[in-house]
Amino acid sequence: TAERFAHRRSFAISFHSMMGNLGASIMPIVQATVAMAAGWRTAVAICTVPAALLLPLVGLRFTNSAPSLHHLPMTGRQERLRQITALVVSNRSVVILAMVYALTGMGTGVLTGFLALLAVAKFNLSTATIGIALTTYYVAGVFAKPLMGYLYDRNGARLALLIPLLLCGALTICVAYSPWVWLFMLAIALVGMASPISPIILTAAADHSDKEALASSVGLIYTCYGLSFLSPLIGGWLAEQYGLPVSYLFAALLIWAGAGVALLLSAKQTTPESVYEPSTVRPY
C-alpha cells in the first residue's frame, strides 16, 4: 500500500486500516451470538474461519516482490542484513514511532482485555451487551482512521499523535469510573475514536524510512507493538490487588506515556529523498 500510493499514502493506509476495524467490529457480535447459542468453544472456533478462507486467497493474489538475497553468499546475506538493521535502529523517527505504538498498544490492551470484567462488575451487563460495547469500540475506529490520516497530513506526526492519545488516556479513566451505563458505553465509543493511531504510525514510518529498510522498519514497529502482551499481566495483578479501576489508571498512564514520547518527534517532518517515487512503484 505504501509503495503503490506514494503520493496519497496517508489516505490509502487509513482506508486499508479501516477494514481491520470493520472486521473486529463484527466479530464480537458474532461471537456473542454463537456463544449464547452453541457455547464459547464453538464461538472461538468461528474466529478461525475468516483466516482459513482469506489466507489462501492472499497467497494466490500477491507475489513476493521483496528483493531476494538467495543469490548472495552467506557472508553477503549477513552483511546485508546488518546494513538494513543499522538503517532501521539508527532512524530516530522510526524508533520513536515504535515506542509510541508499543505504549499505546499496552494501554489499549488493558482497556479491551478487562472490559468484559469491568462491565459485569460495575453494571452486571449481559454477554450480548458486552459484545455490543466492543463492537461500538471498533466501529468508532472505522470512522476515526480517515480522520487520523487527515490529522497527519495537516499537522505532522507529533501533533497528530499527541491530540488523540491525550484524549484516549482521559477517556480510559472515564470508562473505569463511569457511574451510568450510558456514559460507560459513550466513553467506550469515544476511546474507540481516539485510539486507532496505526494510520499515523505506518504513514510516518513509510515517509521517514529509508527505501531499502521500509519493510524492516514496519517490522520493528509491529515487534514493539507485540510487547502489549505484557500489560494484561500487570493489569491483572493490579486488578487483583487494588481493583479493576486501578488497572484502567495504569492503562491511561501508558497511553499518556506514549503521548509524551510522541513529543520527541519534530513538529512537522519533511519527506526525505528516500521516499518512493512514482516511477519506482511496482503494480501488484
For residue 32, what pLDDT band results from cuts at 50, 70 and 90? confident
Q: Tell me, yes or no, whether 99 lies in a domain.
A: yes
What residues make up the domain containing 135? 9-62+75-270
Q: Tell me, yes or no, whether 275 lies in a domain.
A: no
Helix (H) or strand (E) holding 161: helix 127-177
- pLDDT tens figures, 189-207: 999 999 989 888 988 888 8
Q: Tell me, yes or no, whether 242 lies in a domain.
A: yes
Q: How many CB atoms lie within 10 A of CB 79?
A: 12
Which has the minimum average pLDDT: 33-47, 77-91, 129-143, 149-163?
77-91
Please give the Cα distance from 162 to 159 (Å, whole number): 5
Q: Tell me, yes or no, whether 158 lies in a domain.
A: yes
* pLDDT score at 280: 40
For residue 174, which amino acid is it?
A: C
For residue 262, what pLDDT band results from cuts at 50, 70 and 90? very high
Question: Domain of 19: which CATH number?
Answer: 1.20.1250.20
Q: Tell me, yes or no, whether 105 lies in a domain.
A: yes
Contacts of 177 (CB under 8 A, 6+ apart): 245
* pLDDT score at 96: 93
Go through 181-211 and write b for each residue having 16 or more CB atoms within 10 A of its CB, e for each that does not.
eeebbbbbbbbbbbbbbbbbbbbbbbbbbbe
Helix, strand and coil content of the chain, in percent to the nearest 5, comes to: 80, 0, 20
Nearest to 246 by CA among 117, 132, 102: 117
Q: Tell me, yes or no, whether 191 lies in a domain.
A: yes
The C-alpha cell that represents 235 in the structure block: 493489569
Q: Does pTM top 0.85 for this prediction?
A: no
* pLDDT score at 131: 82
The C-alpha cell that represents 142 in the structure block: 472505522
